Each structure stands twice: as C-alpha cells, then as structure tokens.
C-alpha cells in the first residue's frame, strides 16, 4: 500500500530550508504535519511499516540539514497543546518552549524563566537538555516525567532519573539506532511573585538579544568545553568573520555560523571543520558540536 493511502495529508518533495532557523537544507522526499499526538504516533508507525527513514522536526533550531535533503519522511511536530495544573505544566512535545515559559511566568510559576528566548519546541529542548549559559540553567532540572513512544511502538512514561540529563545531552540523544520519541512532558515548577518573574524574563530576553547575532543561524554550533567558552577559543584563532561561500563565523559571537542569505550546508561543514582544527592546534581542545545533523552520510 502506498504512503498516500496509509498517511492522508502527506506531501512530496518539500524544501526543508523553509522549516529551519538556519534556512539551509534540501528537499524531503515525504513531509507530514502532525497536529495531534495521534497524528505523530500514526505517522511514525506508517514510516516503520514501510521501512522508511523518518525524522521528527520541531522548531528547526540547532539543526543543519544536508543540501541533498532527506530521503525519507520528515514529520513536522505541531502538537502544541499544554495546560497549567497547580505547580505543573503538562505539555505536548511540539509546544513552543518560549510560549510555555511566557505562560508559566504569567501564572507566577518559576523554574523556566532562564530559558526565555531559546527557540524551538519543548521536545527538542528536553531531548538536548537545552540551557543557557552552561551550569546556570538547564530544562532537565524542571522535568518530572516524559511520555515516550518507544522504538517497538510501546508508550512508556519515564522520570528525570531515567533520562540521565547531562550538559546539552540526555539518554535520548545518546541512544543509537531507533530512538524513543517524546510525546508529552510534565514540568514541575515553584510558586513565585509574578511581577518579579516578569521583570526577570524581560531582562533575560534583553541579554539574549544583545548576545545573539542577527541573521539566520542554528544557535550555538559547539558545546562549551569545561570552564571554557567555545566562542572565545574560536575568536582567539582569528576566525571571526571567516567566510566560505555565503556563510560566515559571526563577527558578533564566534560560536555562531550565520547564513548570509544563500548559505549551503557544505560550506557550514567546512567552517565547522576549520574551527575544530584551529582550536585543536592552538589549544589542544577538541570542540564538540551542539548542532544536530540530518541527511548527511556517516
């Protein structure tokens, strides 16, 4: 049976760069938008039935997609529902993180405000244990429970301990082969004065705006080494403003690679390799990417 019959609403040959903050990437062979949790689960089951590679796409931040695109099914996760229940937020994985933070602050709930302005969805944030800056705040600290779709189709609820959160990492990210898919997250927060929270959120947003370079980017390219700044190390290698094709290492923050308008993934890769090599040669430090890859051959 064809994918069109098994998955009504699926589209063919969709340009993926339009769905990423980097504005880089080729075509998806198949593309499906999941508006409900049942849609997300159903699309994954169809992909597995057809033995078709699949990728669940959230907000498209922290992601570099190959110029050749993805020869499989991209599932755009738009399961946006969330609700506040006493000191907890119960949210679907496709909910926009900053919308959740804004709602929490408005309800006088503290714990998420440090993440204000971080782009992307809740599922992506939990998957990579989003935080900013290192050691100050990580979303994993607020996670109480996560509902997962396991590789064999079973739905499982796990606690924070099972997820083994680390710096920009989790058990989900470290899993090789078939990865569990986040369906829903329960966040546990604390009561605090609404006015203080609102002021703090505005200050955090101002700070982030000052530090984040303008233009199209995936966010920080590298994780910060222990007690070091990846941006500082790259800057000391005289790489600020280094340009290949239509992408460059930002003049404002060297841990950002910016698409100047017509950037290609192959040129981003060249800059990543250059930065890693220069930093290793000068400091003996091997930088590790924070950005995720899609559509590249190993």
Tell me, what's the pLDDT at 85?
A: 97
Burial (CB count <10 Å: 0-12, 13-18, 19+), residue 297 = exposed
The answer to whether residues 185 and 146 touch, using CB atoms and an 8 Å cutoff, is yes
pLDDT at 106 exceeding the cut of 80: yes
Q: Is the pLDDT of residue 62 over 80?
A: yes
CATH class entry, domain 3-77:
alpha beta
CATH topology of domain 82-211: 3.30.465
One of 93, 114, 138, 168 is an active-site residue; which one?
Answer: 168
- Residue 264 annotated in active site: no
Q: What residue has token string 């992408």?
A: 247
Q: What is the mean pLDDT of residues 148-160?
A: 97
Question: Pick the catalytic residue: 78, 113, 248, 290?
Answer: 290
pLDDT of residue 223: 96
For the chain, give the percent of residues with pLDDT over 70.
99
Question: What is the average pLDDT score of the chain?
Answer: 96
Is 160 designated active site?
Answer: no
pLDDT-based confidence at residue 174 (cuts at 50, 70, 90): confident
pLDDT for 211 equals 87
Query: Whole-angstrom distance between the N-terminal and C-terminal Cα of the chain?
Result: 31
Known catalytic membership, residue 168: yes
Count the helices and strands in the chain (H runs, E runs). Answer: 9, 16
CATH code linked to domain 230-294: 3.90.78.10
Q: Per-domain residue ranges for the chain?
A: 3-77, 82-211, 230-294
Is residue 297 very low, low, confident or very high in pLDDT (cuts 50, 70, 90)? confident
**Residue 178: pLDDT band by 50, 70, 90 thresholds?**
confident
Q: Is the dihedral of CA 42, 48, 54, 55 positive or negative?
A: positive
pLDDT of 218-266, one tens digit each? 999 999 998 899 999 999 999 999 999 999 999 999 999 999 999 999 9
Q: For 32-61, what is each residue's pLDDT tens digit?
A: 999 999 999 999 999 999 999 999 999 999
Query: Is pLDDT above 80 for 23?
Result: yes
**Residue 161: CB atoms within 10 Å:** 8
The percentage of the chain sitting over the pLDDT mark of 90, rounded to a whole number, equals 93
CA torsion sign, 193 to 199 to 202 to 206? negative
pTM of the full predicted structure? 0.95
Question: Is the distance from CB of 170 to CB of 162 less than 8 angstroms?
Answer: no
Residue 134: pLDDT band with limits 50, 70, 90: low
**Taking residues 54-77, what's their average pLDDT?**
98
**Closest listed residue to residue 140, CA positions, set 164, 119, 156:** 164
Catalytic residue, from 201, 220, 248, 250: name it.
220
């Amino acid at each position: 049976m064809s994918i069109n019959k098994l998955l009504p609403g699926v589209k063919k040959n969709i340009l993926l760069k339009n769905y990423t903050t980097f504005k880089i990437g080729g075509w998806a062979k198949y593309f499906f938008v999941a508006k409900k949790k049942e849609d997300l689960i159903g699309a994954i089951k169809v992909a597995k039935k057809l033995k078709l590679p699949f990728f669940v796409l959230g907000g498209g931040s922290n992601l570099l997609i190959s110029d050749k695109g993805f020869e499989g099914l991209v599932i755009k996760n738009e399961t946006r529902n969330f609700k506040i229940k006493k000191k907890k937020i119960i949210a679907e994985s496709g909910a926009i993180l900053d919308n959740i933070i804004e709602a929490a602050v408005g309800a006088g709930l503290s714990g998420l405000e440090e993440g204000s302005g971080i782009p992307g969805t809740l599922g992506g944030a939990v998957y990579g244990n989003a935080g900013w800056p290192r050691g100050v705040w990580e979303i994993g600290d607020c996670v109480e429970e996560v509902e997962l779709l396991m590789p064999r189709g079973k739905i499982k609820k796990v606690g924070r301990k099972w997820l083994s959160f680390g710096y920009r990492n989790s058990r989900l990210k470290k899993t090789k082969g078939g990865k569990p898919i986040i369906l829903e997250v329960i966040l546990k927060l604390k009561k605090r004065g609404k006015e203080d929270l609102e002021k703090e959120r505005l200050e955090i947003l101002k700070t982030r705006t000052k530090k984040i370079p303008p233009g199209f980017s995936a966010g920080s390219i590298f994780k910060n080494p222990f007690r070091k700044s990846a941006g500082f190390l790259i800057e000391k290698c005289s790489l600020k403003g280094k340009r290949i094709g239509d992408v460059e290492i930002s003049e404002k923050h060297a841990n950002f690679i910016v698409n100047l308008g017509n950037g290609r993934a192959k040129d981003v890769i060249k800059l990543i390799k250059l930065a890693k090599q220069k930093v290793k040669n000068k400091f003996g430090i091997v930088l590790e990417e924070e950005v995720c890859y899609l559509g590249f051959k190993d």
